[in-house]
Amino acid sequence: MKKLLVLVLLAGIGYVVYRQIAARKAEQDLWSEVTAEPDLR
């Protein structure tokens, strides 16, 4: 039972870390798009 609890805990931590990395990348992509030079062609 302890092994299952540890496995669930590790999976939860992994999911939280994944979400934080995805959110940070999305925010960085948004700022890159906003601050990019306009294409006036």
pLDDT of residue 38: 82
Q: How far is CA 35 from the centre of its chain?
A: 21
Query: For 38, which DSSP code?
Result: P
Q: What is the pLDDT of residues 1-40, one digit of tens each?
A: 999 999 999 999 999 999 999 999 999 999 998 898 887 7
pTM, full prediction: 0.70
Quickly list DSSP for 15-30.
HHHHHHHHHHHHHHHH
Q: Is the pLDDT score of 41 beyond 80?
A: no
pLDDT of residue 40: 78
- Tell me the one-letter amino acid at 31: W
